[in-house]
Amino acid sequence: MKVLVFGGSFDPVHKGHVSLFRRAMKVIAPDAAHIVPAYHSPFKAKSPTPFRLRMKMLKQAFKGIGKNVVFDDYELKQGGKTYTYQLVQYLKKLYKDPEIYLLVGTDCLNDLHNWKNPDFIFKNAVVVAGKRKGYDEKPAKFRHVFLPGFFPKLSSSRVRAHILACGDVPDT
């Protein structure tokens, strides 16, 4: 059983996230897909946007994307910092013999070796990355697959900065 998992802060969710996920759904054709917003990212200060509001925005942004998509509040239920290897463990318990595909952007791909228990992640999931122009594509030293094409040069931090500077939401 193929299981696609797309985690992140999604603060805010933008077209780049949706585009990346749509392409992964088409290329991988998973039996199940989980979109998992971070409750509290181990790499960031507390998210400025509350979890429940980010979940609501995700459901709106990904509306109608597929019947096999689960908007998973796993990290909220954990109640604190949660690591990707724990999410992979959770999915391995949830499904019988899952083939897990971990969807990330190029920005995360080059940092995965610094995540907690990276060897567990690499052993138990195939890392699927979307290329974003402007990011260095260093060859990762673990099993991974690039999705075809490039994705918008967007980031949630740039969207937040634009909102603070200009007072409006860019077309994201």
Looking at residue 111, its pLDDT comes to 83
Q: What is the mean pLDDT of residues 33-38?
A: 96
What local confidence, expressed as pLDDT, does residue 162 receive? 37
Contact 27, 90 (CB under 8 A): no
- Asked if the model's pLDDT at residue 31 lies above 90, the reply is yes
d(CA 88, CA 70): 15
Residue 160, pLDDT > 60, answer no
Distance CA(88)–CA(126), nearest Å, equals 11
* Whether the predicted pLDDT of 74 surpasses 80: yes
Q: Which domains does the chain have, with CATH numbers?
A: 2-166 (3.40.50.620)
Q: How far apart are CA 11 and CA 8, in angstroms?
A: 8
Beta-bridge partners for 132: 151
Of 22, 12, 31, 45, nearest in space to 151 by CA: 22
Query: With bands split at pLDDT 50, 70 and 90, how would you rate the model's confidence at 163?
Result: very low
The partner residues of 131 in beta bridges, in order of sequence, read: 150
Looking at the predicted structure, is the pLDDT value of residue 144 above 90? no
Looking at residue 131, what is its pLDDT? Answer: 78
In this prediction, residue 7 carries a pLDDT of 95
Cα separation, 105 vs 145, whole angstroms? 11
Query: Which residue has 């999931």 as its token pair?
Result: 125
Q: What is the pLDDT of residue 79?
A: 86
Lowest mean pLDDT among 39-53, 76-90, 102-116: 39-53
Half-sphere exposure of 34 (CA within 13 A, CB side): 24
Select the more confidently predicted residue: 119 or 42.
119
Output the average pLDDT for the chain.
Answer: 83
Model confidence pLDDT, tens digit, residues 110-125: 788 889 999 999 999 9
| Structure confidence at residue 171 (pLDDT) | 55
pLDDT value, residue 5? 98
Percent of the chain with pLDDT over 70: 77
Q: Are 79 and 39 within 8 A, CB to CB?
A: yes
